[in-house]
Structure 1
């Protein structure tokens, strides 16, 4: 019997690469095959991924043209991890829907879609939110449930919150911090991309356990001032930021991001962090992420 084969969309991106790493780590020495989809197999990230383990095979292609991916794979695919890329209105839906349709046509058994939390388990079912890229994920979830009803294709929805990984030492990270500051005293929930990878991997490896489940993923909940205190205590220096005016400009320039931060102020995420940690006791909180996974880990306290 051939080893289980998993197709990972966006394998060189933040979430996809985290899933690949977690699959290799969680599977141990088990004979699995990972088809890592990338648009540019000659990129440094792609080459590094291919060299990481002989069970990883690069698959060049565009997720928006899934039929070509299945033809290139030339093997039976057991499970798919799907992450959609921001684009013009309708682009995310088109990416996911065409992949779901192709998965049904080619006998895929399990479809893991990384969506977004929309206020907790109950609200997430009926609350698209006014944030365009989050609302698109709500529509994709609806499509998947309707399209796969009565078929052998099972699904799992991962619902992460805002990535800790958005906080970087460069200008983009400072801009994220400036927008966070403008939320005021209201906490926002955060997750390390590494931990999304964990849930993606275990869902693919244990489809019988995770089929039909909706999993909220968050590792911490902090206001901007609380995050600054954690950063200072953990790293021994102040958390980099920039002028609030820069945050305002960024929110106007990137309307979807601006809508997201406005939603944070009025409503926001509602993941049960304690429940998520029961499923994965190694979920990183903000301090752990800073020390172990962030771009700041080599600075400050030793």
Structure 2
């Protein structure tokens, strides 16, 4: 069986590292992972490279896609693309450049991680008022249009808010505070590691996922329910602070009137091990060791 080569953008970040991990654990077939990183000398990058011989660090910047393919110097079967927050238009520019380069270099399958915007039908036409979600809608449109009539297939993943934003530090407390502002409305959440699983499935099984937009969510709960589950699992109150105005503010305001609408049962049919909030707290979160008195 021929070795498949996958380019993973953001390989040391939250989503990218989850994709790498899921790829390595999902198949016995021969694969090679080109782990794109801006700084191959960083501790995260070095740790990633030493974890498995199938990983090759690829120094590069997503804003310079031609240089990435030149450095790779090998045919690439699939690309996982995640964009990084930046000034207006930055995410679109990152993804569009990579889409163009992937088409030019014969990539077979392009997997873009976007965001749900109200369920399958609504997401196709609704950017939302949240800039970092709207930018992904723009990329989706570009990806579909540019690949029409070409040999490059696409898959769009549409996850919801990351459970991983809830951390023991001040940023995590601020996230909890914004969640509190939504009141009784339930918010859909997902573990970043589960997004990695879906991305790996799409890359490894392109025939099953090509041309699909896949919503990903593991749970749906309001702030009060989240606090109750946190206390039940961790044994202490969920930490919070005053509400700050950050990049997530527009998203949480959108939650008050609209919000996500992923079909969670359908997502679990694709991957029955999708973590709910309690499972994530216990097994994956930065709070998992608090019950034993260890530092998180």
The TM-score normalised by the length of structure 1 is 0.95
1:258 aligned onto 2:249: yes
What secondary structure does 2:41 align onto?
Answer: coil
Whole-angstrom CA distance in 2 between matches of 1:136 and 1:235: 36
Aligned to 2:4: 4
1:293 aligned onto 2:287: no
1:63 aligned onto 2:71: no
Unpaired runs of 5+ in structure 2? none
Deviation sequence 1:210-255 (CA, Å, 0-9, x none) = 000100000000100000000111111111111xxx21xx22xx2x
Aligned to 1:15: 15
What secondary structure does 2:157 align onto?
Answer: strand
Deviation at 1:300? 1.9
Deviation sequence 1:12-42 (CA, Å, 0-9, x none) = 0000000000000101x32100000000111
Whole-angstrom CA distance in 2 between matches of 1:180 and 1:145: 33
Aligned to 1:24: 24
Aligned length: 293
Aligned to 2:261: 270
Deviation at 1:43? 0.7
Whole-angstrom CA distance in 1 between matches of 2:209 and 2:85: 26
Deviation sequence 1:98-139 (CA, Å, 0-9, x none) = 000000100000000000000000100011111111111011
What secondary structure does 1:59 align onto?
Answer: strand
Whole-angstrom CA distance in 2 between matches of 1:123 and 1:300: 41
What secondary structure does 1:266 align onto?
Answer: coil
- The alpha-carbon distance between structure 1 residues 234 and 228, as it changes in their structure 2 partners (threshold 3 A), is same
What secondary structure does 1:117 align onto?
Answer: coil
Runs of 4+ in 1 over 6 A off after TM superposition: none
What secondary structure does 1:214 align onto?
Answer: strand
Whole-angstrom CA distance in 2 between matches of 1:35 and 1:212: 24
1:45-124 correspondence to structure 2 within 5 Å: 45-124=44-123
